[in-house]
Amino acid sequence: MLKRRIFEEEHEIFRASVRKWAEQNMAPHIEAWNEAGQVSKEVWLSAGENGFLAMYADEKYGGLGLDDFRYDMILNEELTNFDSGFFLPLHNRIVAPYLHKSGTEEQKDRFMPDVVSGKRILAIGMTEPGTGSDLAAIRTRADNKGDHWVLNGSKTYISNGQIAGLYLIAARTDPADPRAIGLFWVEEERAGFTKGRNLKKMGLQSQDTSELFFEDVVIPAENLLGNGRDGFKLMMKNLAEERMIGASGYLARAERAFTVTMEFITERRAFGQPIGTFQNSRFKMAEMRTKLDAAWAFVDHCATEHMEGALSSEHAAEVKLFVSEIEGEIVDACVQLHGGAGYMQEYEISRHYVDARISRIYAGTSEIMKEIIGRGLGLDDRKRN
């Protein structure tokens, strides 16, 4: 594997501690989590106790005050080696930053301690039935009543939907302006808010994905994030980080697939010799190693740009597109090298194969990524004469 130069000694020490924690707190429970359709709340509390949640939060909230994106990359990569369904990165780097960067001091005082401890797991509600990636088409609405808002509508495909205790919900706040979107903190105990079924998926069996329903849910004015019309701006500001953290996880899963395949072809024999000694196996593994190393170099370059505040939306889209497509190629090739065993659920590679398919869909489909990149090149069909 290519030496990754973005990490320093303290990061590698942290990586070793995360791996040890995962071996003790994740590995023994993966089968049970997959059967239950969600991870346990206990593992979240343990992650909080070990300082793994919202590490950038101020010490007064129980955080470490450690705003170094590389630590969350390491968490993402190491946890993915054990189970991709533990959606800690969603909590840490997709939802909590809204509170950390844009929340009021009152919101931080009220919510951040439980976010850091793991008592309130986070989720975000954007997607609705029929809207897909088109946030301008959302129908969930919030009506301003002065000292409170009234929320009505529904969301679907919400990660951490069953297990979360605090949700950031996007809702239309002005029927006359499709770009007027408000973001609201909604506690799970709010009257009129119900969680639907835990949706059955192709992969990520231990990751709960839900429908959410809101019927005349009263939201205090102090739960509004921003001004009630700037939700688009706030969401767009965080999308580059979401795609960056996603790319790190996708590639970690591809790397794990490569590792288990290397072990398999070294041990499994055919025609009196290890499968790995056949030219086809050697060539396939060589191709995959090259693609992985190139992808890690791109991920680490974009991570450096992100930490410097210079990661453009186009480069974020490029790394998300490239890595998710590479992941798909690698897990598919790894299943093929396993032969019939690769189709059996008892082999780890089959889990990586089905888990990887979603990478080209969520956080923006590959097609949406290509649109963003193409428009950045000046190829915008909206400019046609």
Whether residues 372 and 238 fall in one domain: yes
Confidence of residue 132 (pLDDT cuts 50, 70, 90): low
Q: Is 137 within a domain? A: yes
* pLDDT at residue 261, as a whole number: 97
Q: Is 148 within a domain? A: yes
DSSP annotation of 91 reads: I
Q: Which two tokens stand for residue 273?
A: 């010799």
Q: Which two tokens stand for residue 327?
A: 């992941």
| Tens digit of each residue's pLDDT (9 = 90 or more) over 350-376 | 999 999 999 999 888 999 999 999 999
| Tens digit of each residue's pLDDT (9 = 90 or more) over 180-238 | 999 999 999 999 999 999 999 999 999 999 999 999 999 999 999 999 999 988 988 88
Whether residues 212 and 115 fall in one domain: no
* pLDDT at residue 380, as a whole number: 79
Helix axes 231-267, 313-338, angle to 10 degrees: 30
Is the CB of residue 58 less than 8 Å from the CB of residue 228?
A: no
Whether residues 290 and 362 fall in one domain: yes
Confidence of residue 55 (pLDDT cuts 50, 70, 90): very high
* pLDDT at residue 176, as a whole number: 87
Q: List active site positions.
A: 242
* pLDDT at residue 270, as a whole number: 80
* pLDDT at residue 131, as a whole number: 74
Q: Can you list the positions of beta strands (E) in the chain?
A: 122-125, 141-144, 148-159, 166-172, 181-187, 193-198, 209-220, 224-225, 269-270, 273-274
* pLDDT at residue 382, as a whole number: 65
Domain residues for the domain of 329 are 233-383
* pLDDT at residue 133, as a whole number: 58
In this predicted structure, the answer to whether residue 384 has a pLDDT above a threshold of 60 is no
The residue ranking higher by pLDDT, 124 or 177, is 124
* pLDDT at residue 325, as a whole number: 97
Give φ, ψ of 124 to 5 degrees. -130, 135
Whether residues 369 and 239 fall in one domain: yes
Whether residues 374 and 286 fall in one domain: yes
The residue ranking higher by pLDDT, 276 or 332, is 332
Tell which of 212, 229, 246 closes a domain.
229
Tell which of 229, 258, 291 closes a domain.
229
**CA-CA distance, 260 to 58, in Å (whole number)?**
39
Place of tokens 């072990």: 263
Whether residues 253 and 338 fall in one domain: yes
Confidence of residue 379 (pLDDT cuts 50, 70, 90): confident
- The residues, ordered by sequence, that sit 6+ positions from 352 with a Cβ below 8 Å of its Cβ are 84, 253, 256, 257, 260, 331, 334
Whether residues 324 and 258 fall in one domain: yes
What proportion of the chain, given as a percentage, has pLDDT over 70?
A: 98
Tell me the three state secondary structure of residue 115.
helix
Whether residues 25 and 40 fall in one domain: yes
Q: Is 1 within a domain? A: no
Tell which of 82, 104, 120 closes a domain.
120
**CA-CA distance, 376 to 96, in Å (whole number)?**
29
CATH number at residue 163: 2.40.110.10
* pLDDT at residue 41, as a whole number: 96
Q: Which two tokens stand for residue 383?
A: 């400019």
Whether residues 151 and 176 fall in one domain: yes
Q: Is 3 within a domain? A: no
| Tens digit of each residue's pLDDT (9 = 90 or more) over 61-109 | 999 999 999 999 999 999 999 999 999 999 999 999 999 999 999 999 9
pLDDT (mean) for 132-143: 81
In this predicted structure, the answer to whether residue 137 has a pLDDT above a threshold of 70 is yes
For the CA atoms of 249, 254, 259, 264, the dihedral, rounded to the nearest 10 degrees, stands at 140
Whether residues 213 and 331 fall in one domain: no
Exposure of 374 in the CB half-sphere (CA atoms within 13 A): 11
Whether residues 76 and 173 fall in one domain: no
Q: Is 72 within a domain? A: yes
Whether residues 301 and 174 fall in one domain: no
CATH number at residue 39: 1.10.540.10
Q: pTM to 2 decimals? A: 0.93
Q: Is 4 within a domain? A: no
In this predicted structure, the answer to whether residue 385 has a pLDDT above a threshold of 60 is no
Q: Which of 219, 291, 280 is nearest to 258 (CA)?
A: 291
Q: Is 157 within a domain? A: yes
Q: Which two tokens stand for residue 233?
A: 């701006």
pLDDT (mean) for 372-384: 82
- The residues, ordered by sequence, that sit 6+ positions from 360 with a Cβ below 8 Å of its Cβ are 324, 325, 328, 366
- The residues, ordered by sequence, that sit 6+ positions from 263 with a Cβ below 8 Å of its Cβ are none
Question: What average pLDDT is seen over the chain?
Answer: 94
CATH number at residue 368: 1.20.140.10
In the chain, how many domains are there? 3
**CA-CA distance, 237 to 247, in Å (whole number)?**
17
* pLDDT at residue 275, as a whole number: 83
Q: Which two tokens stand for residue 150?
A: 């009234």
Q: Burial of 280 by CB count in 10 Å (0-12 exposed, 13-18 middle, 19+ buried)?
A: exposed
Q: Which two tokens stand for residue 164?
A: 């979360």
